[in-house]
Amino acid sequence: MKSCFIFAILAFFPFVCLVTYKNYTSGGLFEILLKQLQSNDCQDLYAEGLSFKNQYSDFNDEYKTELKERVRSIFLSSLYNYYEYAFPKDELNPIDCKGRGPDYGNPILGSLLSAHLLLTVETGLGNLTLNGYESELLSMAQDLGTRLLQAFDVSPLGLPHPRVNLRDGVPTNWSAENCLAGAGSFLLEFGLLSRLTGDPVYEWKARRATKALWNMRSNGTGLLGNTFDVETGIWNSKLSGLGAGMDSYYEYLLKSFILFGEQGDLDMFEEAYTTIKKYMRRGRTSCLDGIGDHPLYVNVNMDTGTTHSAWIDALQASFPGVQVLYGDVDEAICQHAVYHAIWRKYGLMPERYNWQLKTPEILFYPLRPEFVESTYLLYQATKHPYYLHVGKEILWSLEQYAKCNCGYCTVHNIIDRTLEDRMESFFLSETCKYLYLLFDENHALNHNAEKFIFTTEGHVIPVMDLPPVVPLPQILAMLPLDSNDTKTPTQCHYPEKLKHRSLPLEAESFVQLFKALNVDV
């Protein structure tokens, strides 16, 4: 109760100071508020707000170039060490300088499709043609996709099994428990595979699984859970949130609409997003103004919508990027600020953070890209230098705390900063990529951002006209759909560039948030 009271008081300070200036002719009220303004608390708030503004002001082009080259150096040296010490294994142990693997969860299908498209489609990214290339990567992708189809054949609901042996099929001695993201993030890759090869089976399987999950929503709230049994469709975990095990299901509903233009995908995303904001969102109604606690999306029970747990995790930091793609940039700004506050507090991102106790629950940081990705997308949407400063802080922490013998290590404990001998593959494919693109203002991807989409694993996919092999209504007719395909597509409205603002949020709002999480401003 005490912490809630302190949080409410901090939230009220900006309002008191603001009203003081706006009501300077209001007689007795002005006198009362003037005393508040003269109090140390209000003075401190404005002083700290001014200090915060100064920390995140302009960012010159030369410094951007310097940071870009530092990221390039990190990527190239780490990639060289991988080839020198680890190849052909999947990952590098950067302390012992040895290979690690195989990593049975490696997302190779998206990389094959991305590489094929970049080699064969005019993208504006330069001359990427390869002499003698005859779609071998697409053939490999189809072979892999066909083997993965076995995962969908066990469940009568069409839900994919969490494990499949590419030679022998689904193992008989493995758990049938899968998660929302694991079972519902096939639309982009399988949809592309169908449309590039002319075989509709891949997209049909992906859409059947996506719709089966959609039909498993709670009757009371419309929320989805976390883990379930693929053979029965019964939820094992009724935790509903935006983090690990759930994140990319919602991401792929939106990105599938962007890539394929299928209205039903957008309909599902918009309904899901409305439900998410209704039940998961806490804090003041308006993100950028008003009084009250800083907005936060929490884990809830899928059947009741009540708070399930008091932690958020590092994977949820990708959701502001989804909000940017949808056009809800103000909301994305607020959610990103939460993760920036946590990063500022520790210099790294804990895997799980308890927002009630204001302390990390799971202490390791495996060089995850989600916070970097959202930082990059918010900079592209706003062009505000604040996000360049955030990227600079991320880069500094990587160089300061994660550098080791042959690459960059997982930080085993963000408090004592002990290291773990593992460099996850996503560090090179996503973390470094998004950091580099953040600082490379003139990169062709940034100049033509509307022509590309990133998969959930960071693979670049050109957005182009790829009609389905079989007209989608025929595919959907085979599915238990209940969506209305007659709606007019929603138009995403992006705000004007925020560069003219001193900060994306009012400085006092940043100070409020940072103080609430016990972060030194």
Query: Residue 248 half-sphere exposure, CB side, CA atoms within 13 Å?
Result: 19
Alpha-carbon gap, residue 212 to 229, rounded angstroms: 12
Note whether 325 and 374 are within 8 A (CB): no
Q: At what angle do helices 187-197 and 201-214 cross, to 10 degrees?
A: 150
- DSSP for 448-467 reads TGGGEEE-TT--EEE-----
CA torsion sign for 8, 13, 19, 22 is negative
Note whether 226 and 239 are within 8 A (CB): yes
Nearest to residue 87, comparing CAs of 70, 77, 74, 102? 102
Reduce the DSSP state of residue 272 to 3 states and report it.
helix
Query: Is the preceding peptide bond at 468 cis, omega within 30 degrees of 0?
Result: no
Q: State the DSSP H helix or E strand holding residue 166, giving kind and residue range, or none if neither.
A: none
Q: Is 456 annotated as a binding residue?
A: yes
Reduce the DSSP state of residue 100 to 3 states and report it.
strand
Reduce the DSSP state of residue 332 to 3 states and report it.
helix
Whole-angstrom CA distances from 106 to 110, 387, 457 are 10, 30, 10
DSSP secondary structure code for residue 314 in this structure: G
DSSP secondary structure code for residue 288 in this structure: S
Name the pairing type of β-strands 307-309 and 299-301: antiparallel
Note whether 461 and 449 are within 8 A (CB): no
Q: State the DSSP H helix or E strand holding residue 175, giving kind and residue range, or none if neither.
A: none
Token couple for 78: 């780490």
Alpha-carbon gap, residue 462 to 6, rounded angstroms: 49
DSSP secondary structure code for residue 495 in this structure: P
Q: Which residues contact 105 (CB under 8 A, 6 or more apart)?
A: none
Query: Is the preceding peptide bond at 107 cis, omega within 30 degrees of 0?
Result: no
Q: Which residues contact 274 (CB under 8 A, 6 or more apart)?
A: none
- DSSP for 364-432 reads -B---SHHHHHHHHHHHHH--HHHHHHHHHHHHHIIIIIEETTEE-EES-TTT--EES-B-HHIIIIIH
Alpha-carbon gap, residue 76 to 181, rounded angstroms: 31
Q: Which residues are annotated as a binding site for Ca(2+)?
A: 456
Residue positions forming the annotated binding site: 456
